[in-house]
Structure 1
Amino acid sequence: MYQDLSFMKIPLPEDVLKLKNYGDFDGAQKMIQHFLSKDIPMALRKRLEIESEIIRVVGTDEYPYTYEEALEIMSSHLKDFKEEELQYLKEISAADWIYIDGKVHFQRRFYENLIKTRPDLAARVMVVDVDDAQGNELKQKLLNSNIQYMKEHGGRTVHTRIRSTIKAKKEFEEVGRKVRVHLPIPKVYEQVSNVKILASSPEITSIAPEDAPQRTVYFETELKSDQEFMVEYEFDYHVNYVELDPEKVSSEQPDFCLEEQAPHIMFTPYLRELRDELAGDETNPVILARRFYDFVTTKVMYSYMREYFTIECIPEYCAVNQKGDCGVQALLFITLCRMSGIPARWQSGLYATEYYTGCHDWSQFYVAPYGWVFADPSFGGSAWRAGDKNRWNYYFGNLDVFRMPANSEIQKEFIPEKKWLRGDPIDNQRGEFEYEDHGLLYSQLEVHQELISMEDIEK
């Protein structure tokens, strides 16, 4: 099965694009098959094969709500909500939508996204979830207490234990068939050590090497009724506190982790213009990286995203639309750094606390003599919007301890490889599930991660 996404940089035939933009997905698929039936260049063939999968994902359930259904959701949840407000939110690109058969449909999490990012709307929610409100307040206190601890002690080490599960939803369960399942586990890294698998169900078939770029445990078995695949693991996690000083930057800087990586880490004409505008004549890598961080954290509105696989160039999408979630923001920061000769790379896995555990992405950049340091634009942007400049500044150069990094790169194969195109071929935080003749989308799976314990230890 085709796995190389670099061909997404190839343009689509005009008629395929017309049908896709109108939301005639059946027509677009027929047009793609028409092209594939002909003798066409291999690069175009690969691009069309990818597009066929993208349309399948987008057309499945990413945009389920008609305009009328979206209006009903907003009106039933928000006090005195008017239709012209929904129209305005659509017009300013605050509510994600596409055409399906020529009619507007909204993204499956459009309401949650609006409440998360727009305090004026959140204040009008008629039934407030007390647990969510308290959880958000506790999250801010937890992050701020971590910052205080890091500054006082110069670093922090914790011992973390996490349990992750994945299973097929009942209607996609094919009992008795051979299944291949991957679940992410910690990658042994500069901040991660002493990784141990504590339990699993069923028995693990194999474990990827400690330095695998996207590390997983792998199960291969015949599926049982209502079968859940589980792994429980523990690890030590350590980060140092750093204050980056432009005056202390070395005159010579390294030249690794500077390359493009199609289709996403690409030095496109628009991103070159943006980089030049932000950089000006500055050459100091700390000052440059801070300018890129400031742009992403203050200009890009946090927004829940459709599957990354359906976006042609993620950093350019972020810079053009000025919206995106944690990974979208991290990739824009990484790309701007690499364009400026600053080594930068990806990290992702889980953000894990007693209040919430779920997927998260962030970035690293390298400045001599400091070495690899962190930048988390989405956490930084959240702090900036909340008026917390201390936390905003902290996430340029530093990270908290509430992390499980499973991935050090994007677009890398599992060990062993997955046969069918992954639900997320960019990253891996939730796991993957496939039968011998097809894989399952995330909408067809139930995924859960839980922090069992986290304890401070002396390092």
Structure 2
Amino acid sequence: MVDAGHFEKAESAITSALGRMAETSPAREALLFERERMRRILMDFSLDESDALAKLRQQVPDLRQEEFDEWADAGLIEHRVIDGRKLYFNRSISNLFRLSPQAAQRRADPKPFRDGPMESFNAHHIAIAEAAMSSGESSVLPQRIRVTQTLTVNADAVPAGEAVQAWIPFPRDIPGQQEDIRLLDSEPAKLDLAPVSVAQRTVHMAKPARAGQPTKFSIQYEMTVYGRYHDIDGQRVQPTPNDPALGESLAERPPHIVFTPALRAFSRDVVGNETNPYRITQKLFAAVDRIPWAGAREYSTISNISEHALRTGFADCGQQTLLLITLLRLNGIPARWQSGMVYSDSQVGGVDRASYWNLHDWGQVYLAPYGWVPMDVTTGRLPGAVDGQGRSLEWFYLGGLDAYRIAFNDDFSTGFQPTKRHFRSETVDSQRGEVEWSGGNLYFDQWTYDFNTEVLLP
């Protein structure tokens, strides 16, 4: 009912079912979350047609109703029908200009999209690949960085005197990717740092709310980040070994990694008769890379993210990554998740480091005999990219990573330590943070976050 947009019927069914259940049961929690999911969906889809038209006419003043209808009917202006009302996604208008060249040409004042410098081929990619190939090492060009992360709860979001609990994402040591992580400072000073074994690692802190004042949490740490590159020879790649340790990375994992009929059909069309694991990986990587990027609704509102990415025909980084992971596993190729932050430096691409940082998701694929290698399908292929010796770097992000990212997570939808009592705002990823108090979870409209990275001089 929720996925079909029948919210009134869903609410009636939830209310009736809750009345027959014990106060504590998994089924009760699931029903309460469906009620919360509807609330979150309505926050994401808050525009009616007049709102969406007005927002679009700010950029296309002479917009015709027929144009709007054509784009909406083609699925280029994301919307849902909820209890008979057509409601538009808050980011549907900005997404339209990424999805439709025709719409982009109609803008009265076209501005370039604010993409990160690593999304275009540059000297950093060349330096990593050349250093790796000349040294024979897959981890090269380490950079020492200092990171400051903050989370600020809105004033009076929590009653004065109540304890505000916050979880701020914190990186794990990953040999050859990010190492020597040292926590320098925090506010408040008392904290619980989750052990490195926790796949979605966090720093947990608590502080009492004060009337009329925001409640601020912060951490600062240093770490060393490496560029990574594997010069993969497809002819050397072997079938996936029969290793029980790889089993988890080959399996379905509902609700977001499921081998649905639609994904099976898509996989058959893309893979064809190919049997080489690397060539299959290349084909699937290229197919998912062709799905255009668009700003996404909150993951907690989507019942199956990989299927959603395939069905809508556009996706953000996490949706693309989960789709690729699902397709790889479907073809017997182990794949797993990573996510965190990407950032910039004044030395790269002419973008000042303070002007760009963003949430980002990517992954890893297992290719014998190389083992686990990185993959970033959203940054994707780099057509025409070559190094100083004319060697192609088109597939840099299938086996390589730039050194301008921090991984907070080596898995998705896993628990925190200490455990969060109430629903998470982000049920899949962990990049912005989480907040709650005894009265419940604090959703994203009740707090803000910030991130700053400084690349330290040698």
The Cα shift of 1:44 comes to 6.2
Residue 44 (structure 2) pairs with residue 52 (structure 1): no
Instruction: Name the structure 2 match of 1:147.
Output: 125
Instruction: Name the structure 2 match of 1:94.
Output: 76
Q: What SS does the aligned partner of 1:351 have?
A: strand
Q: Which amino acid aligns with 2:4?
A: N
Unmatched runs of 5 consecutive residues or more in structure 2: 133-139, 345-352, 387-391
Q: What SS does the aligned partner of 2:401 have?
A: coil
Instruction: Name the structure 2 match of 1:185.
Output: 170
Residue 247 (structure 2) pairs with residue 247 (structure 1): no
In structure 1, C-alpha distance between the alignment counterparts of 2:70 and 2:455, rounded to whole Å: 44
Question: Are the aligned partners of 2:5 and 2:83 in contact in 1 as well (CA < 8 Å)?
Answer: yes
Deviations 1:306-349 (A, max 9, x none): 11111111111112222210000000111111112211100001
Instruction: Name the structure 2 match of 1:422.
Output: 424
Question: Are the aligned partners of 1:166 and 1:230 in contact in 2 as well (CA < 8 Å)?
Answer: yes
The Cα shift of 1:39 comes to 6.7
| Residues 269-278 or 50-59, more deviating | 269-278
Counterparts of 1:264-275 in structure 2 under 5 Å?
264-275=256-267
Pick from 270, 294, 300: which aligns with 1:278? 270
Cα 1:405–1:252 shift into 2, 3 Å: closer
TM-score between both structures, scaled by the size of structure 1: 0.86
Instruction: Name the structure 2 match of 1:114.
Output: 96
Pick from 336, 352, 356: which aligns with 1:345? 336
* RMSD, matched Cα: 2.5
Instruction: Name the structure 1 match of 2:137.
Output: none
Deviations 1:219-266 (A, max 9, x none): 022123222111112211113321221211135625402122111111
- Which structure shows the bigger proportion of residues in helix conformation? 1
Instruction: Name the structure 1 match of 2:375.
Output: 375
Instruction: Name the structure 2 match of 1:320.
Output: 311
In structure 2, C-alpha distance between the alignment counterparts of 1:174 and 1:236, rounded to whole Å: 40
Deviations 1:358-387 (A, max 9, x none): 211001001111111111111116x56xx8
The Cα shift of 1:78 comes to 2.3
| Residues 216-225 or 108-117, more deviating | 108-117
Deviations 1:264-312 (A, max 9, x none): 11122222232233233322111111111011012x1212111111111
Q: What SS does the aligned partner of 1:379 have?
A: coil
In structure 1, C-alpha distance between the alignment counterparts of 2:105 and 2:374, rounded to whole Å: 34
| Residues 101-110 or 330-339, more deviating | 101-110
TM-score between both structures, scaled by the size of structure 2: 0.86
Question: Are the aligned partners of 2:146 and 2:456 in contact in 1 as well (CA < 8 Å)?
Answer: no
Cα 1:456–1:380 shift into 2, 3 Å: farther
Cα 1:291–1:431 shift into 2, 3 Å: same
Instruction: Name the structure 1 match of 2:350.
Output: none
In structure 1, C-alpha distance between the alignment counterparts of 2:156 and 2:100, rounded to whole Å: 36
Question: Are the aligned partners of 1:75 and 1:82 in contact in 2 as well (CA < 8 Å)?
Answer: no
Q: Which amino acid aligns with 1:317?
A: H
Counterparts of 1:148-187 in structure 2 under 5 Å?
148-154=126-132, 155-170=140-155, 172-187=157-172
| Residues 304-313 or 74-83, more deviating | 74-83
The Cα shift of 1:407 comes to 0.3
Question: Are the aligned partners of 2:257 and 2:326 in contact in 1 as well (CA < 8 Å)?
Answer: yes
| Residues 350-359 or 43-52, more deviating | 43-52
Total equivalences in the alignment: 428
Pick from 67, 79, 90: which aligns with 1:85? 67
Question: Are the aligned partners of 1:380 and 1:391 in contact in 2 as well (CA < 8 Å)?
Answer: no
Identity %: 29
Instruction: Name the structure 2 match of 1:335.
Output: 326
